[in-house]
A = this chain, B = another copy of it.
């Protein structure tokens, strides 16, 4: 069956593009001498994670305990939970996983350290812990300096925990290659400040985890970095393209949609709304619209309702008709993938399989 014969709306991935993306980033990491621990948030799929490990990834990254459970059940052994999980029920489940698997978690508070220690002690396992510091994104993470060391020392003393290093998110590295390089240099200074505080106390730091897709090619500029955890690079999306971190032809995932109405003049309605594409707006580039229609790039998706994608056809050369099938590159592929239970795999436009998005909706 061809992609445009599938029942719509449906999420598809071009395997040739996916494999090229996987190989390119594996090679980029090798060249830079940095380990790759990809964030699974983008694909949430066991089959893609297996390909990442086969190409040399040292482990996986997840955000939620439920995601760690999915990948642990599929046989993955070395998993970083790059999120400061709080809550006894989740800590208990995480500590249960840590009895049989290598589990790392990143935290930025004494409260999390004490609760995790209690859970790990109760389960008889050991949780590896990274301390998160803020590389400039102002989201999570302590200010690089003595308070990072202080939390590391607390962790080192607590039963059931093992301090293993530092983590930060480089989410602010965006823009043209020059802008991204300049941001990466700012990040490098903050990483160095964090590490200097440990050197001053002669305290070893085994792991320094950083990264994001737009920053991955600048890993070599960041001294002390041991591993990175980009996610989006497997599929890419319109944001990654406008962040300057991929070409349009590197976007592996498309939503296949059908035109369902052209009754209102100047409008075509697609059967893909916010339940399919999500309402995530562009964070780079023109910052308008809800996806790129491959067959009609001059027809912007100007609004989404839950089930309706409203296309402005007034300036388009394309003549939309009811029943026509089009393909859309989403603004933000990670959240779009999370809306779907499965993704159809394509080779040269032909559907060749279907993967379960096994970690979809694992919010706890």
A44 to B306: give the CA distance in the assembly, Å: 13
In the complex, the answer to whether B83 meets A260 with C-beta atoms within 8 Å is yes
Could you tell me the distance between the alpha carbons of A285 and B171 in the complex, rounded to whole angstroms?
Answer: 31
Are A279 and B335 in contact (CB-based, < 8 A)? yes
> What is the CB-to-nearest-CB distance from A148 to chain B, in angstroms, rounded to a whole number?
10
Q: Identify which of A29-37, A134-142, A177-185 touches chain B.
A: A134-142
One complex includes copies of this chain to the number of 2
| A111 close to chain B: CB less than 8 A | yes
The residue from B108, B115, B307, B308 contacting A323, defined by CB atoms under 8 A apart: B115
Which B residue's beta carbon lies closest to that of A42? B306
- Residue A220 interfacial (CB < 8 Å): no
Chain A's interface size range is: 35 or more
Interface of A toward B, CB cutoff 8 Å: 7-10, 41, 63-64, 83-87, 89-90, 108-109, 111-112, 115, 132, 134, 138-143, 171, 258-264, 267, 269, 271, 274-276, 278-281, 305-308, 310, 321-323, 334-335, 338-341, 361, 363-364
Known: A83-B260, A142-B263, A279-B279. 13 other contacts (CB 8 A): A83-B271, A84-B269, A86-B258, A111-B321, A132-B261, A134-B264, A138-B264, A139-B305, A140-B264, A140-B308, A279-B280, A306-B338, A338-B339
